[in-house]
Amino acid sequence: MTPSLFTPLSLRETTARNRVMVSPMCQYSTGDGVATDWHQVHLGSRAVGGAGVVMTEATAVEPRGRITPHDLGIWSQEHADALAPITEFIRSQGSVPAIQLAHAGRKASKTRPWDGSEPLQPDEGGWETVAPSAEPYPYDDEPPQQRAMTAEDIDDVTDSFVTAAKRAREAGFEIAEVHAAHGYLLHEFLSPVTNDRDDEYGGSFENRTRLVREITAAVRAVWPDDKPVFVRISATDWLPDRESWDIDQSVRLAPLLAEAGADLVDVSAGGIHPDQEIPNAGPGYQIPYAETIKENTDLAVGAVGGITTGEQADQLIRNERADLAIVGREHLRDPYFALHAAHELGVDVDVPAQYRRGF
Ligand code: FNR
């Protein structure tokens, strides 16, 4: 039977009650990476709101991998301990708690969006960034110092992802997502725009995809067999005028991610370079990429970008364009997106007892 938005999604032994996921969205609301009441309320209310999967924002696997000094992190036990009550609450509301494990690479060390997203120098609370190549992100202002990663740095970052995954599991997360999109570290390795290495991590498709495959496999090796691993990719750099990452390479990459142990590819786009041109930023603007990957692979696929109504999300699943509808900004406007979608579609779902009289 063709699934709909409110058909449960089972990956390995983990079942989400519906096909709505809260997209990872940075809140820039910690002091030193430790989750606060903000995260408990923000993530918790979206679980109350009925989403099948509630994913944290990009959660840094090491301090250098934060976008801003305010990002959520999971590089120590203290970080994991602060996340544990949040996963417990999400689960108590019937949602699956998920974490996005991230490293910002050359897009690290800047101010929050509401402070201008400007590069931060070490004497302003910033730090030296690491990336596949030494060339920094082309900011208008002077970027922080950047270093091309050595082989040892690559091993260290891989270890940081593994340790972070182990801590995330102990904190109660059921899905681990490897962030390889939006111009951050792992995307920087994938894209020829940001990777001019001449070792086994640069040059050919095989070499540029090596680190994301290795990290996915390493996370899978420590993630329980009965629980899923996701990978978020940018399907294209949106830079057709130069040698760049594109949908054809994404289609080639997807089965390799499956081989490395991924269960779902979360298909986003862009973020590698400010010259990018988004061809059509309207409703569902990235869905065609998810659909192309779904048509060409056996891997489950999540679609994200411009999904704002229950009907649109339901059509996405019914037409088998994707397996999971990932909703970002609409969840900022409406924490109860999934409950509203069920109401709009005439589907009976469990509403928290406290709220039943409202639905
Ligand atoms: C984002 N996005 C994002 N993506 C990601 O992979 N990790 C992250 O931490 C963030 N952070 C973030 C913060 C905020 C405030 C916004 C609005 C977006 C991108 C987000 O997950 C999503 O892919 C895009 O917003 C497109 O989907 P929507 O918003 O059109 O549903």
Q: What does the pLDDT read at residue 281?
A: 84
Nearest Cα to 171, choosing from 88, 101, 47? 88
Q: What average pLDDT does the segment 178-198 reach?
A: 98
DSSP 299: S
Give how far Cα 120 sits from Cα of 22, 28, 103, 109, Å: 29, 15, 17, 5
Give the span between the Cα atoms of 271 and 189, in whole angstroms: 13
36 has a pLDDT exceeding 90:
yes
Ligand 1 contact, 328 CB (< 6 A) = yes
| Whole-number average pLDDT of the chain | 97
End-to-end CA distance of the chain: 28
Q: What is the amino acid identity at position 306?
A: G
Mutate to test the pocket of ligand 1, among 21, 22, 25, 43 (most ligand atoms within 8 A of CB): 25
Ligand 1 contact, 24 CB (< 6 A) = yes
Q: What does the pLDDT read at residue 7?
A: 98
Residue listed under structure tokens 């570290």: 185
Residues recognised as catalytic: 184
Give the span between the Cα atoms of 51 and 30, in whole angstroms: 24
Whether residue 147 is contained in a domain is answered as yes
- ipTM greater than 0.90: yes
Q: What does the pLDDT read at residue 358?
A: 87
Which residues have CB under 8 Å from 138's CB, separation 6+?
A: 273, 274
Q: What does the pLDDT read at residue 2?
A: 87
Whole-model pTM: value is 0.98
Give the span between the Cα atoms of 44 and 95, in whole angstroms: 9
In the reported structure, the alpha carbon of residue 151 is separated from the centroid of ligand 1 by a whole-number distance in angstroms of 31
In the reported structure, the alpha carbon of residue 231 is separated from the centroid of ligand 1 by a whole-number distance in angstroms of 15
Instruction: Evaluate whether 341 touches 309 at the Cβ level (below 8 Å).
Output: yes
266 has a pLDDT exceeding 90:
yes
Q: State the pLDDT confidence band at 1, using cuts at 50, 70 and 90.
A: confident
Ligand 1, atom 14, residue with closest C-alpha = 25
Instruction: Evaluate whether 121 touches 195 at the Cβ level (below 8 Å).
Output: no
Q: What does the pLDDT read at residue 317?
A: 98
CATH number for the domain including 239?
3.20.20.70
Q: What does the pLDDT read at residue 280?
A: 84
Nearest Cα to 338, choosing from 55, 7, 6? 6
Give the span between the Cα atoms of 109 and 121, in whole angstroms: 8
Residue 51 token pair: 């989403």
Ligand 1 contact, 268 CB (< 6 A) = yes
Ligand 1, atom 16, residue with closest C-alpha = 25
Whether residue 182 is contained in a domain is answered as yes
Q: What is the pLDDT of residues 219-260, one digit of tens each?
A: 999 999 999 999 999 999 999 999 999 999 999 999 999 999
Ligand 1, atom 1, residue with closest C-alpha = 25
User: How many structural domains are present in the chain?
Assistant: 1
In the reported structure, the alpha carbon of residue 328 is separated from the centroid of ligand 1 by a whole-number distance in angstroms of 6
Whether residue 2 is contained in a domain is answered as no
Whether residue 253 is contained in a domain is answered as yes
Whether residue 3 is contained in a domain is answered as no
* Strand ranges inside the chain, DSSP E: 9-11, 14-16, 20-22, 53-60, 96-102, 129-131, 146-148, 175-180, 229-234, 264-268, 300-304, 324-327
Helical (H) or strand (E) element with 100: strand 96-102
Q: What does the pLDDT read at residue 209?
A: 99
In the reported structure, the alpha carbon of residue 160 is separated from the centroid of ligand 1 by a whole-number distance in angstroms of 23
Domain that holds residue 214: 9-358
Ligand 1 contact, 216 CB (< 6 A) = no
Q: What is the pLDDT of residues 283-342, one digit of tens each?
A: 999 999 999 999 999 999 999 999 999 999 999 999 999 999 999 999 999 999 999 999
Ligand 1, atom 13, residue with closest C-alpha = 25
Give the span between the Cα atoms of 46 and 30, in whole angstroms: 19
